[in-house]
Amino acid sequence: MRIRLIQMNSVVGDVHGNLERIVALIREAERDGVHLVVFPEMALAGYPPEDLLFRPSFLRDLAEAQEILAQNVGRLVAIVGYAYAEGQGIRNAAAVMANRQTLARIAKQHLPNYGVFDEARYFTPGAGTTIFRWGQWTLGVSICEDAWYPDGPYLRQARQGANLLVNISASPFSRGKSQVRQQMLSTRADDAAAYLVWTNLVGAQDELVFDGTSAVFGPDGQLLARALAFREDILTVELTRTPSQHRRWIDPRWRLAPNDEGAADVVEVPLPPAGEAEALATRVEPVPDTVPSLYEALCLGLKDYVEKNHFGDVVIGLSGGIDSALTATIAVDALGRERVHGVFMPSVITSETSYQDAKALSENLGIDWRVIPIGDIVSVFLKELAPSFGQRPMDLTEENLQARIRGTLLMALSNKLGWLVLTTGNKSEMATGYSTLYGDMAGGFAVLKDVLKTEVFRLARYVNQTAGYARIPENVLIKPPSAELRPDQKDEDSLPPYAILDQILKGYIEDDLTPDELIRQGLDADAVVLAVRLVNRNEYKRRQAPVGIKVTPRAFGRDRRMPITGRF
């Protein structure tokens, strides 16, 4: 059987645009002699569609598009993810189509409702077991989370005779997830003694990035083929024989398993059995290591946010520091240098070194950049505020004023020239509130929002290593981080050293460890108490931060949801 996995970048809500692409890809598959073509979860609707699912007009569009799609499926079987209304509920489903008709709609049975997932808010779970008989092949179809359960629908389908399992997925990227996911899928194929075809979404939707890496596993769990990471891809494989029934006969997990699941619904595929085709060379694409994967995810997240929302150029406030340097570099690699603009906004406190570093970065990247001094603007602000400030000494107010003036200037350029403002704050700063509300937090998209400061340095070094030269100037990497809002300021004047702080933040935010547990791990007690206090008191700031790319298992925003008002 010739099987084609379509790793597609769908656009949420663009039902007709997604439909046109799917139809074209199905027709191409038919011309190429493909027997089975598989698209990702929610390929027709885009994922996650969120509250669009509550709009009757959206569900009607999906229903009409699925009917049109079925009419365009001829001499092959096509499996496409979408959503449909049924009775009092909405289903996250796979439409199985062949011979100009819909053979069945398989509803997702396990609805994820944790982290970024809210599927119980929208969907009614499916039930029962359906298998599709097609000559020597018997297919079972499941959706994403269904495969994560060891006793999920895939196993019931296998016990009813399925020897080819298809799982359509919209599984988002996070640090280290790819390896865990591949091991899980390998185990599922081995447990079922069946081929497993897993087709994953690729692309970005708001905070989420989908990394693709669609794959095919053999009945022994061996990886047979894998598509590209972070890119649309078409992966075609040729399975020349069905798995041996002998293994199931001799494995007591099959012989002695309780058969209390009831009979499966059997759907006969109204096509001639899939014949032999010319053998294809298998392709197993590599999965990038941790740092390259992180960089690819950030580039894809930014590119899709800008282009799917029809923005043109982007603008970045360049400080001469590492965060703005990395943000600008990612923007160039995601969008092209002609769409990236840098603005250096010095005050009387800004050092000559910062100017030189910002200038060198802009020249290395080949981007448009300009200098807008803010010294006179700060003076005017302070003059007008003096009667209200009275004799009170200078404090954070004057520091934050500089950041807020810079934010105002960037937003003015955005309004006048149509540029999207990219903020440059990282996760360490977001966590501790080491940022200025309506200042450096002002903007449309936060590229590094889920990237700890130590990871920022690793990514910058990766950029230079990949380029073969100091694309990000070396001085940016070696000088102590500073907001430069007061003379001789260093981040570590207000925060623990980032090497320590980031360990605390990872444990407290991602692993939900208590301060006592962190201290017992050997982390400095004073640093732990300070960091935890800062995290807890700055939730109100994070709620007002721009949307940003999720790359860790516990990102701020809709992933980690904590009360602003609370005393725990």
Tell me the pLDDT tens digit for each residue of 519-537.
999 999 999 999 999 999 9
Residue 255 in this model has a pLDDT that exceeds 70:
no
* Residue 279 counted as domain residue: no
Alpha-carbon distance of 344 to 359, in angstroms, equals 9
- 277 lies in some domain: no
Does residue 417 form part of some domain?
yes
- In contact, 283 and 235? CB cutoff 8 Å: yes
3-state helix, strand, coil in the chain (%, to 5): 40, 20, 40
249 with 115, same domain? yes
Whether residues 101 and 250 fall in one domain = yes
Band (pLDDT 50/70/90 cuts) for residue 276 is low
Neighbours of 150 (CB within 10 A): 11
- Kindly report the CATH number assigned to the domain that includes residue 419: 3.40.50.620
pLDDT confidence bin for 561, thresholds 50/70/90: confident
Q: What is the pLDDT of residues 111-126, one digit of tens each?
A: 999 888 999 999 999 9
In terms of C-beta density within 10 A (0-12 exposed, 13-18 middle, 19 or more buried), how is residue 111 classed? buried
Q: Residue 491 pLDDT > 90, yes or no?
A: no
Does 307 share its domain with 353? yes
CATH code for the domain of 79: 3.60.110.10
Residues 460 and 526 in one domain: no
Q: Looking at the structure, tell me whether residues 475 and 392 fall in a common domain.
A: yes
In a shared domain, residues 469 and 524: no
Instruction: Tell me the pLDDT tens digit for each residue of 171-190.
Output: 999 988 999 999 999 999 99
pLDDT digits (tens, 9 = 90+) for 452-475: 999 999 999 999 999 999 999 999
pLDDT of residue 490: 83
Number of domains in the chain: 3
Q: Dmax over Cα atoms in the chain, in whole Å?
A: 89
| Per-residue pLDDT, 557 | 85
Query: Known catalytic residues?
Result: 41, 108, 144
- Model pLDDT for residues 202-251, shown as the tens digit of each residue: 999 999 999 999 999 999 999 999 999 999 999 999 998 888 777 777 87
Q: Are 207 and 319 contained in the same domain?
A: no
pLDDT (tens digit per residue) in 286-303: 999 999 999 999 999 999
Would residue 275 count as lying in a domain? no
Q: Please say whether the beta carbons of 167 and 146 come within 8 A.
A: yes
- In 3D space, the residue among 381, 375, 426, 385 whose CA is nearest the CA of residue 552 turns out to be 426
How far, CA to CA in Å, does 404 sit from each of 300, 363, 435, 533? 29, 27, 11, 25
List CB contacts of 46: < 8 A, sequence separation 6 or more.
Answer: 10, 11, 12, 13, 14, 18, 205
519 shares a domain with 445? no
Residue 216 inside a domain? The answer is yes
Same domain, 197 and 239: yes
**Are residues 297 and 209 in contact, defined by beta-carbon separation less than 8 angstroms?**
yes
DSSP of 54-79: G-HHHHHHHHHHHHHHHHT--SSEEE
Cβ distance 139 to 162 under 8 Å?
A: yes
Strands 215-217 and 195-200: antiparallel
The one-letter code for the residue type at 554 is R
CA distance 471 to 267: 58
Between CA 141 and CA 135 the distance in angstroms is: 17
Mean pLDDT for the stretch of residues 107-112: 95
Q: In the chain, pLDDT over 70 holds for what percent of residues? A: 98
The C-alpha atoms of residue 534 and residue 117 are separated, in whole angstroms, by 27
Nearest to 283 by CA among 217, 219, 236, 239: 236
Report, as an integer, the average pLDDT of 300-329: 96
H helix intervals, 32-176: 56-71, 119-122, 153-159
Q: Is the dihedral of CA 344, 426, 397, 564 positive or negative?
A: positive
On the question of pLDDT at 486 being above 80, the answer is: no
User: Average pLDDT of 42-52?
Assistant: 96
> pLDDT value at position 282?
82
Partner residues linked to 198 by β-bridges: 167, 215
Residue 379 counted as domain residue = yes
568: in domain? no
Instruction: State the average pLDDT for the chain.
Output: 93
Residues 264 and 201 in one domain: yes
Amino acid code (one letter) for 138: T
Strand, helix or coil for residue 38:
strand
Q: Is residue 550 part of a domain?
A: no
One domain for residues 466 and 417: yes
Per the structure, the complete domain to which residue 461 belongs is given by 290-489+538-542
520 shares a domain with 394: no
Residue range 5-13: mean pLDDT, rounded = 97
CB proximity list for 345: less than 8 A, separation 6 or greater? 317, 371, 372, 373, 374, 405, 406, 409
**What is the C-alpha separation between 177 and 183, in angstroms, rounded?**
10
